[in-house]
Amino acid sequence: MGVARYWREIPARYSLIGSKCNVCGEIFFPPIKICPNCRRKSIGNIKDYKLKGKGVVESFTVIRTAPPEFERNVPYAIALIKMEEGCYVTGEIVDCEIDKIHIGMEVEACFRRIQQDGSAGAIYYGYKFRKVD
């Protein structure tokens, strides 16, 4: 991912900012411009919405062979999280042993380092998820 695209996505990545349709009330992540339910009625009626950051693991997979920039993290788990608001977010599960992760586990968002662009490049941060105690 290029640096320019990453910076455009900072509100979603740093603060879990999604969108809420003020016509039907549905919440989306990542942010959208037009509600797929309301279509034309939603134009101008989509507002930013900050997710609470809490949800439940709906599904997950363990990555054991990763791309070069993530090789030092293996094994790691990527999960599909159903947020309290009803939308879905994909994220890494951290601070939890791989064999303790399970479907139905309650999680909360936390702010962490994602990757570094080369050995002397920009460091990218964003959300990951940890088990709620």
The string of pLDDT tens digits covering residues 62-82 is: 999 988 878 888 999 999 999
Q: Which two tokens stand for residue 90?
A: 């994909």
Whole-angstrom Cα distance, residue 64 to residue 48? 36
Q: 18 with 35: CB under 8 angstroms?
A: no
| Paired residues of 49 in beta bridges | 18
Q: Supply the pTM of this predicted model.
A: 0.82
Q: Is the pLDDT of residue 24 over 60?
A: yes
The two beta strands, 88-94 and 27-28, are unpaired
DSSP strand E in the chain: where? 17-21, 27-28, 46-50, 54-63, 76-83, 88-94, 106-116, 123-131
